[in-house]
């Protein structure tokens, strides 16, 4: 097979179609096909080597998006604390740690993953979440993390008590709830008063007052996070303006506020970037930074989806096609247990053929998985080129909240994961076998 140099970007810089010439086979006409590549690797070869369903990640895309986001904040003191919940693969965490990223964790397990990836990263960890247990707080104290984001008076009691018992000094910030509408899906909106997250702005002062003069816990920051998959910058600016006003008040009261944690939540376009990524993050940075000028603080950011989302692809094979009274289905080997977002959020993911042949007629189909649930779908009423059993499809923008939300429902093993860096590939998670699924059971 002879490969040409013609490329058609799908998710730059790592995912693109490359035109190829090949003998007529598998229903494709010679000279008319383009094959989807992740950097220097043909996705057909990856599917052949590792099987499907398969998650793969572009190192080049992750590297470039991290660089662009970091650059957007310029000389303002800041740290990117990657949101581990988006994708917690240890090899990916190590990759980001080597790029200088810190981490935002919401459980002891996520902290353990960060420590396994790079123990030195503990000093760049912020610990968020409404339900931190005593054991998790103790682990974080012993690990020497950067900052606790406290979300309730009861949690503060436990932090003060545990730090005193262990005689370990630490820093805290109150996560305030600014009552700002993020205009996102209700399940991933966190900044309104009806949500469980954070402390009302008007109650924050009382929590800081309880820390004043404490021997082990220092009130060092203010934190906010208003939600996820936010595609407009105005809510970020509104939230940061309210945070900035609180910082001014706290400093006037004698608190040494050094950090402002702006959270994460910057979204992506799942139907393709509508604007250049560099341009969109510049607008985001401008909205976040404007209220913080002249406050003499270090900014903490918690990007997750915006970094890893477009870097990931879920590769899946067509098992069957079928029709039910005029309704057409493409049944694939990836299901809701592999990618939950469509079923949980009715989320849209672009799905494209790995081998693209413009001569194939497009039809409207539901792309569904093998799980025994009517909600097991990857796409509904989607126009796709006609496919046959054995064809490969690629589900795009699957790097965030794909494997992180995967399960073993229907006793299905979770997919393997592969990191692609140029022409090199690294298996970063083995496919689960049946023995893996029953290892902890007594029978």
Strands (E) located in 304-358? 312-324, 327-332, 351-353, 355-357
Q: Check: CATH 3.30.360.10 for 88-303?
A: no
Q: What is the pLDDT of residues 217-245, one digit of tens each?
A: 999 999 998 887 888 888 899 889 999 99
Q: Which residues of the chain have pLDDT under 70?
A: 1-6, 21-32, 181-197, 273-275
Q: Which of 38, 81, 101, 372 is catalytic?
A: 372
Q: What is the pLDDT of residue 272?
A: 75
Equal fold, 2-58+310-438 vs 88-303: no
Contacts 24+ apart (CB under 8 A), 92-97: 92/57, 92/62, 92/308, 92/419, 92/428, 93/117, 93/118, 93/121, 94/118, 95/59, 95/62, 95/419, 96/62, 96/66, 96/307, 97/121
Q: What is the pLDDT of residue 33?
A: 82
Q: H helices of 90-225, where?
A: 90-98, 108-117, 134-143, 153-166, 201-211
pTM for the structure as a whole: 0.92
Q: What is the pLDDT of residue 3?
A: 44
Tokens of 135: 């054991």
Class of domain 2-58+310-438: mainly beta
What ranges do the domains of the chain cover?
2-58+310-438, 88-303
Q: What is the pLDDT of residue 227?
A: 82
Q: What is the pLDDT of residue 32?
A: 64
Q: What is the pLDDT of residue 358?
A: 85
Catalytic annotation present for 81: no
The per-type count for the chain, helices as H runs and strands as E runs, is 12, 23
Q: What is the pLDDT of residue 273?
A: 61
């Amino acid at each position: 097979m002879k490969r040409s140099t013609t490329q058609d970007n799908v998710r730059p810089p790592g995912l693109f179609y490359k035109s190829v010439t090949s003998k007529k086979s598998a229903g494709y006409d010679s000279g008319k096909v383009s094959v989807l590549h992740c950097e220097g690797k043909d996705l057909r070869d990856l599917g052949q080597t590792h099987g499907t369903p398969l998650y793969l990640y572009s190192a080049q895309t992750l590297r470039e998006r991290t660089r662009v986001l970091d650059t957007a904040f310029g000389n303002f003191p800041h740290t990117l604390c990657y949101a581990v919940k988006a994708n917690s693969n240890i090899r990916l965490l190590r990759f980001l740690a080597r790029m200088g990223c810190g981490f935002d964790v919401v459980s002891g397990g996520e902290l353990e993953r960060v420590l396994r990836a790079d123990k030195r990263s503990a000093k760049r960890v912020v610990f968020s979440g409404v339900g931190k247990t005593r054991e998790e707080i103790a682990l974080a104290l012993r690990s020497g993390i950067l900052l606790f984001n406290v979300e309730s008076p009861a949690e503060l009691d436990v932090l003060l008590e545990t730090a005193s018992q262990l005689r370990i000094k630490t820093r805290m910030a109150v996560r305030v709830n600014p009552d700002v509408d993020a205009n996102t899906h209700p399940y991933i909106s966190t900044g309104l008063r009806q949500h469980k997250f954070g402390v009302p702005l008007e109650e924050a002062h009382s929590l800081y007052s309880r820390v004043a003069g404490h021997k082990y816990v220092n009130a060092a920051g203010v934190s906010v996070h208003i939600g996820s998959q936010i595609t407009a910058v105005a809510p970020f600016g509104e939230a940061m303006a309210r945070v900035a006003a609180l910082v001014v008040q706290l400093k006037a009261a004698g608190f040494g506020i050094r950090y402002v944690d702006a959270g994460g939540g910057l979204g992506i376009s799942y139907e393709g970037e509508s604007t250049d990524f560099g341009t969109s993050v510049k607008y985001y940075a401008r909205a976040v930074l404007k209220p913080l000028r002249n406050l003499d603080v270090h900014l903490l950011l918690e990007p997750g989806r915006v970094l890893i989302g477009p870097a990931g692809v879920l590769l899946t094979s067509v098992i069957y096609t079928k029709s039910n009274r005029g309704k057409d289905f493409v049944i694939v080997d990836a299901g809701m247990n592999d990618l939950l977002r469509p079923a949980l959020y009715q989320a849209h993911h672009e799905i494209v053929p790995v081998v693209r042949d413009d001569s194939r007629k497009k039809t409207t189909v539901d792309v569904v998985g093998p799980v025994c649930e009517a909600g097991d779908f990857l796409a509904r009423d989607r126009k796709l080129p006609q496919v046959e059993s054995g064809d490969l499809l690629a589900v795009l923008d699957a790097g965030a909240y794909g494997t992180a939300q995967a399960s073993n429902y229907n006793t299905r093993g979770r997919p393997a994961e592969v990191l692609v860096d140029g022409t090199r590939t690294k298996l970063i998670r083995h496919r689960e076998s049946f023995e893996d699924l029953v290892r902890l059971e007594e029978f």
